[in-house]
Amino acid sequence: MPSPVAPAAPSRPALPWLAAAAVMLLWASSFIVIRFSGAHLSPGAMTLLRMVTAAAVMLPLVLTGRVRTPRSGRMWAGVLAWGVTWFCVYSVVLNASELFLDPATAAMLVNLAPLIVAVASGVLLGEGLSPRLLVGVVIALCGIGLITLATSTGHVEGPGLVLGLLAAVLYAGSVLGQKPLLAHIDSTSMTVVGMTAGMLACLPFAPQLVAELGRAPASAIAAVVYMGVLPTAAAFLLWGYALTHTPAGVLTSSSLIVPAITVVLAWTILGEVPPPLAALGGVLCLTGAAIAILPAMLASLRSRT
């Protein structure tokens, strides 16, 4: 793994945080899509359709010369491994976990990743272990637990727990692997190359996708295409940019607000009124995320001012 470097200071320090906020909103919407389309498309087929759509969106960046290939065999190996892990394996595992778990429990397990990243980035990337960051993550995880308790169907099976925990580990590992690589390749190029690798790794699911497209309703297909365009292509470009300019542990902690946003989206889009306990959990998610990331955000803004 390349040596870590300090995050680069952007000319407009608010932009990485605005990018992170957009990513969290888009990623929250993907949970709604997975819940809706998962009834019609299998985990691998859904991932392939999502990645083919995302790769098509990225094609103009390749044709206009905006993508730079890795400069060494070691960098190629790192970027390709990251892409296959993040865009193929993680997505398939997350989709498969919801065959055994309700979405609330799956979201709770996946959101153990910020805690893993906060601790590992302090130890491995030299970002330090801020007590404030850890306290914020724990508070937000308590909020996620309340949301799960309020909205869970109680449908929990052993394979689902294993897959959910594996998804959290893959999520954390992908973030920790991407951060040092961004010191040697720009975020756009890394995203495009990695996304292409993930799409190619999903090609064994092509026969399954072709068979399921003939049975799936147009609304489910359109929802996955949306997920490929915005929560995947656009969101990961923004994520790479934000990660280039912010500490990995702090940025990943911002994803703790995703369950709270998901509750609001389910309320407004699906008409699912959140129970009072879920609303309280959402408040705790926002509070914990604020404790974890606001000090770093304000410090970066003050330093540029």
Long-range CB pairs of 268-275, under 8 A, 24+ apart, other chains included: 269/32, 270/32, 274/150, 274/151, 275/150, 275/151
Is the pLDDT at 141 greater than 70? The verdict is: yes
Is the pLDDT at 251 greater than 70? The verdict is: yes
Is the pLDDT at 86 greater than 80? The verdict is: yes
- pLDDT band at residue 6, thresholds of 50, 70 and 90? very low
pLDDT for the residue 201: 97
pLDDT for the residue 152: 59
The rounded percent of the chain whose pLDDT value lies above 70 is: 84
What lies within 8 Å, CB to CB, of 203 at 6+ separation is 48
Is the pLDDT at 53 greater than 60? The verdict is: yes
CB 159, CB 204: distance < 8 Å: no
Residue 188 has which token pair?
Answer: 């756009």
Q: Which of 16-20, 72-76, 163-167 has the highest mean pLDDT?
A: 72-76
* Sign of the four-CA dihedral 56, 85, 99, 143: negative
pLDDT for the residue 300: 60
Is the pLDDT at 294 greater than 80? The verdict is: no
Residue 226 has which token pair?
Answer: 């949306």
Domain limits, the chain = 39-304
Is the pLDDT at 105 greater than 70? The verdict is: no
- pLDDT band at residue 257, thresholds of 50, 70 and 90? confident
Is the pLDDT at 305 greater than 50? The verdict is: no
* Sign of the four-CA dihedral 144, 15, 58, 26: positive
pLDDT for the residue 83: 96
- The pLDDT of 26-41, averaged and rounded, is 86
Q: List, for residues 186-245, the tens digit of each pLDDT value.
A: 999 999 999 999 999 999 999 999 999 999 999 999 999 999 999 999 999 999 898 888
Report the mean per-residue pLDDT for the chain.
Answer: 82
- Residue 38's SS3 state is coil
pLDDT for the residue 137: 78
Is the pLDDT at 154 greater than 60? The verdict is: no
**What is the C-alpha separation between 305 and 299, in angstroms, rounded?**
10
CB 41, CB 271: distance < 8 Å: no
pTM of the model: 0.80
What lies within 8 Å, CB to CB, of 238 at 6+ separation is 19, 20, 22, 23
CB 107, CB 262: distance < 8 Å: yes
pLDDT for the residue 1: 44
Long-range CB pairs of 288-291, under 8 A, 24+ apart, other chains included: 288/135, 288/136, 288/137, 288/138, 288/139, 288/140, 288/141, 288/142, 288/143, 288/256, 289/136, 289/140, 289/253, 289/254, 289/256, 289/257, 290/136, 291/132, 291/135, 291/136, 291/139
- The pLDDT of 250-261, averaged and rounded, is 77
Query: Radius of gyration over alpha carbons of the chain, in Å?
Result: 19
29-33, 39-43, 76-80, 146-150 — which is least confidently predicted? 146-150
pLDDT for the residue 246: 81
- Picking from 58, 301, 90, the residue whose alpha carbon sits closest to that of residue 196 is 58
More confident residue, 257 or 233: 233
**What 3 state SS string does 98-157 have?**
CCCCCHHHHHHHHCCHHHHHHHHHHHHCCCCCCHHHHHHHHHHHHHHHHHHHHHCCCCCC
